[in-house]
Structures are given as structure tokens and as C-alpha cells.
């Protein structure tokens, strides 16, 4: 199963008026791989995630999920088909508990909207998924805490847990390490190592050490364009990348 292409963006372009945020970018994500995307602020990394996840429609280009053309699918449908994403800024339900944040995310795959006589809080399936994902990211001892009061690092972990609760095949992670301390970063990277076994992961990240350590492939973007794609070593030694991004040293 390792090596299957799960998500593919083909010649994606997104224009905002005269600005081309993403310019003819192609990317493919395989199970068992962490594909890092790096680039300066405004290089189009987050826009790329938004195009792949269906938050915006591309101006041109195509998105294939598990071999199916999903270019015209709305975001919720892509999510139900196995595309999970996390956000750069914490996008959680602050007034709910950790457990309920995860449970509600799990509910997306088990909606049963008509069953108004059932109690969501005691629903066995979604509750056990919620427990499971909270434990996996290391939030097992904070299940009943209201997430507005969690630390920043815990909120980032929760983002991942909520993503996992939807049982995705592909994870699009937008700066999951942003603002995290060394210890929290370490824990997150270990988690990603485990997750990549059965997921295809796109990792947009500013922490270069982390990306070069964990990514199997790295794509470098500048001003909406891909200037290099390759293994960490190839990218590190690529002259274009050295001048454009890493600095000429």
C-alpha cells in the first residue's frame, strides 16, 4: 500500500485579480511519505492547501483524490472522502471540551442527523474515536477541559486530533509546529513519523530543521511558483534554492 498516490494537484493556478498566488503547481502525495512544502511568507503555501482541500476553487488545474477527479467537489465532500486538514491559526471549538471537539469531528463520518432522539454525548462510536485520537496526540489527561483554556501547544495537538478523528487518508498540515516549544515539537514530529505509515502527509512549515529532518520530499515555492522538488539533500544542494530561499551561504 505504501507508495500509492493518494492526492494529486495538477497544474493548479489561483489568481487574485492581478496577483498569481499559486502558479501552475503540480504536487502528488503518496502514502508513507511526508511531503514538506517550504517557502517565504506569501509564497502561496497556504493557498495551495486551500486549493487542495477545496476551500477555494482553483482558477485552473485539477485535484485528484484517491484517483478520482474531485475538482468540483465542495470542501465537506472532500473531507468525508478522506481529506483532512489543519489550520495555521487554531481553528477549534473554544467553548467545547477536548473530548467534544474530537467527538464532533468524528461525527462528520457518522452524521445520523435525523436521529434526534439519540444523545450525541453518549454515542459509543464517536466517543471511542474521540478518546482514541485524543490519546494518540497526547491529550489523554485533558479530555474534559474546555479547549479555550488549553496551552498553545495543546491546541496545536488538538488540531491534529480533530483531523485524525475524521479518519482521513491524506493530511494537509498548515504549520503544525508554529509557536511550539522544543519538547512539544519533538512530540509532534514523533507523531508524524507514526502517522505517515498509513497516511499521505503534506507539511507546510517554517521550522526548517524540522522539515529537513522529517520530510521525504520537499517542494520549495517562491512567489507562487515551484522552484525545486526533491529529497532533502537534493533541495539543500540545489543552487536555485540556495540563492532564492536559504540564503547564499
Partner 1 sequence: MRHPTSFVLLFFGLLALWPVMAGSYGADLVAKIMIFALLALSLELLVGSTGLVCFGQAAFFGIGAYAAILMSPTDGSAPALWLSLPCAIALAALYALAVGALSLRTQGVYFIMVTLAFSQMAYYVVHDTPLGGGTDGIYMYVKPTWGWVDLDNPAHMYGLIWLSLLVGFLFLSQLLRSPFGRALSGIRVNEQRMKATGFSVYPYKLAAFTLSGAMAGWAGYLFAVKDGFVNPELLSWHLSGSLLVMIILGGLGHMRGSVLGAFAFALLQELFQAEAVFGSFAKHWHLSLGLTIMACVAFMPHGLVALPAQLRERLSGRNNREAPVETLEEKA
Chain residues binding partner 1 by CB under 8 A are 53, 55, 74-77, 79-80, 85, 87, 91-96, 100, 103-105, 107-121, 123, 126, 146, 148-149, 162, 166
- Tell the smallest beta-carbon distance from residue 123 to partner 1 (Å): 7
Q: Closest by alpha carbon to 67, among 130, 129, 24, 4?
A: 4
Residue 199's CB: how many other CB atoms inside 10 A?
Answer: 22
Give the nearer residue to partner 1 in terms of CB position, either 68 or 95: 95
Give the nearer residue to partner 1 in terms of CB position, either 171 or 220: 171
Cell of 170: 491524506
CA geometry: angle 41, 235, 4, nearest 5 deg: 95
Torsion from C-alpha of 46, 104, 5, 195, nearest 10 degrees? 90
- Tell the smallest beta-carbon distance from residue 104 to partner 1 (Å): 5
Give the nearer residue to partner 1 in terms of CB position, either 89 or 213: 89
- Tell the smallest beta-carbon distance from residue 200 to partner 1 (Å): 17
> Are 217 and 33 contacting, i.e. CB atoms less than 8 angstroms apart?
yes
- Tell the smallest beta-carbon distance from residue 239 to partner 1 (Å): 38
Give the nearer residue to partner 1 in terms of CB position, either 73 or 212: 73
Give the nearer residue to partner 1 in terms of CB position, either 8 or 53: 53
Give the nearer residue to partner 1 in terms of CB position, either 40 or 146: 146
- Tell the smallest beta-carbon distance from residue 65 to partner 1 (Å): 13
Cell of 22: 499559486
- Tell the smallest beta-carbon distance from residue 72 to partner 1 (Å): 15
Q: Closest by alpha carbon to 233, among 224, 225, 243, 242?
A: 242
- In order of 89, 138, 180, 192, 246, the CA distances from 187 in angstroms are 20, 9, 10, 9, 26
Residue-wise burial string across 32-64, b where 16 or more C-beta atoms lie within 10 A, e elsewhere? bbbbbbbbeeebbbbbbbbbbbbeeebeebebb
Amino acid at each position: 500500500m505504501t507508495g500509492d498516490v493518494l492526492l494529486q494537484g495538477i497544474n493548479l493556478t489561483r489568481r487574485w485579480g492581478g496577483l498569481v498566488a499559486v502558479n501552475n503547481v503540480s504536487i502528488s502525495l503518496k502514502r508513507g511519505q511526508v511531503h514538506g512544502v517550504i517557502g517565504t511568507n506569501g509564497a502561496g503555501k497556504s493557498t495551495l492547501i486551500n486549493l487542495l482541500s477545496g476551500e477555494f476553487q482553483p482558477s485552473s488545474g485539477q485535484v485528484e483524490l484517491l484517483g478520482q477527479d474531485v475538482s468540483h467537489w465542495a470542501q465537506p465532500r472532500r473531507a468525508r472522502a478522506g481529506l483532512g486538514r489543519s489550520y495555521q491559526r487554531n481553528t477549534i471549538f473554544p467553548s467545547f471540551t477536548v473530548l467534544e471537539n474530537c467527538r464532533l469531528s468524528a461525527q462528520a463520518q457518522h452524521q445520523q442527523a435525523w436521529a434526534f432522539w439519540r444523545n450525541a454525548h453518549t454515542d459509543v462510536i464517536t466517543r471511542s474515536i474521540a478518546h482514541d485520537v485524543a490519546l494518540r496526540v497526547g491529550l489523554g489527561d485533558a479530555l474534559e477541559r474546555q479547549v479555550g483554556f488549553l496551552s498553545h501547544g495543546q491546541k496545536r495537538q488538538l488540531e491534529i486530533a480533530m483531523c485524525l478523528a475524521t479518519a482521513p487518508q491524506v493530511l494537509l498540515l498548515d504549520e503544525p509546529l508554529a509557536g511550539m516549544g522544543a519538547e512539544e515539537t519533538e512530540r509532534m514530529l514523533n507523531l508524524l513519523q507514526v502517522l505517515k505509515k498509513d497516511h499521505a502527509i503534506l507539511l507546510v512549515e517554517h521550522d526548517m530543521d524540522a522539515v529537513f529532518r522529517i520530510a521525504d520530499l520537499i517542494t520549495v515555492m517562491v512567489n507562487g511558483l515551484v522552484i525545486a522538488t526533491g529529497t532533502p539533500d537534493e533541495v539543500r544542494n540545489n543552487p536555485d534554492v540556495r540563492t532564492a530561499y536559504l540564503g547564499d551561504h
